[in-house]
Amino acid sequence: MGEFSAEEKEAMKAEAGIAACNFVKDGMKIGIGTGSTVKYTILELGRRIREDGLEISGIPTSEVTEKLSIEQGIPLINWNECSGLDLVIDGADEFDSNLHLIKGGGGALLREKIVAESSAGMVVVADASKQVEVLGTFPLPIEVNPYGWEQTQRRIQAICSGPVVRRGPDYLTDNGNPILDAHFGPVISNPVEMEAQLRSIAGVVEVGLFTNTADVVVLAAPNGCEMIRKENARL
């Protein structure tokens, strides 16, 4: 999206965020994602609740999303009263032709994955800069346990040709964990295998590879939104 102005980029994000709301129906329990495009989804859901009488409830994926959802009047529920969700709407840092994703640039990957795996369908809102042939140009976020994170970093480094860097000396997720950003480069051609390999390392809490979870990408474009649907999409 480098050829577009900041205003044009923001308008496209807004269009995609709003278009994703068309998947939301009365009575649904939805996962509410995190990020600059999902923000517009939250604002639109709030408007539909106030103006159109939309009746939904949601579970947020971050404290930032929780705050904005409350401000918008979206009724929130917790996992004590909900064993599954009808839909999650979330963003992505990259996606490939199979709709495998890299997520976690905003640091909410663990909560986002819990919500995504608990949902009957996933809609991703994104702009054209997030569409890639092979995942990995965006550094892969990996949430790790604080204990022995240096050793976890070394084990990840053994399978990553680029640097594996802690995201700031004081940065912690909403769960109190550090994030390591692994600079693989565009080589993650088998993200399912890579996800399993990384998750097998002791100390890894969660990996920002979301494989076989997204059903539809609502892609922001200058002339309207494009819907990219997986062949076996649940939506």
The Cα angle at residue 59 between residues 55 and 64, in degrees rounded to 5: 115
Region of residue 230 (left: phi > 0; alpha: psi -120 to 50; beta: else): beta
Positive or negative, the CA dihedral 38, 12, 221, 136 is negative
Round to whole Å and give the CA distance between 235 and 38.
18
Is the distance from CB of 31 to CB of 119 less than 8 angstroms?
yes
Query: Which residue matches tokens 């050793």?
Result: 151
* Identified catalytic residue from 66, 112, 143, 206: 112
Nearest to 43 by CA among 70, 62, 9, 63: 70
Alpha helices in 108-231 (DSSP H): 109-117, 149-157, 191-199
Q: Give SS3 for 130.
A: helix
112 has catalytic annotation: yes
Helix (H) or strand (E) holding 134: none
Those residues with Cβ within 8 angstroms of residue 66's Cβ, 6 or more apart along the chain or in another chain: 60, 76
Local structure of residue 51 (DSSP, 8 states): I
Residues designated as active site:
112
